[in-house]
Amino acid sequence: MDTEAIYQEGFAHRCEGRYREARQAFERVLGSEPDHANAKWQLALVAGFEGDFEGSAVMLQQVVSASPRHVAARYDLAMTYMMLGMNDEACMEFREVLRLQPDHDQAKRQLAYCP
């Protein structure tokens, strides 16, 4: 199975709430392609879905640092910051999402919570 197929398998598992299987698939992707930004992003989401919001934030920060234009990871980082009560950081990320993608409706809605 090629890397993209494994990634899609992991994505499907994550969407189904099968986090252990999702994690295993994303780790297989990263074993073949250590810089696969989407696999790292999805692993961070799995961590959050499993309740490790701090770990998820750290992982999302790493994705954004390595891939600053990864809008989806940046938006999820902002949402995770909001869940952690880090509102200033969240608002900064929502603004950056909108700088990169001005028509991002979800980020626009979230700015209502920003000073």
pLDDT in tens, 82-99: 999 999 999 999 999 999
What is the three-class DSSP state of 94?
helix
Q: How far apart are the first and last CA of the chain?
A: 48
- Region 9-28: what's the mean pLDDT? 98
| Structural fold of domain 3-113 | 1.25.40
The domain ranges of the chain are 3-113
Q: Report the SS3 class of residue 24.
A: helix
pLDDT tens column, 19-43: 999 999 999 999 999 999 999 999 9
pLDDT of residue 1: 79
pLDDT at residue 11 in the model = 98
Compute CA distances 70 → 51, 75, 89, 101, whole Å. Answer: 23, 9, 17, 10
Q: How far is 22 from 10, CA to CA, in rounded Å? A: 4
pTM (global) more than 0.85: yes
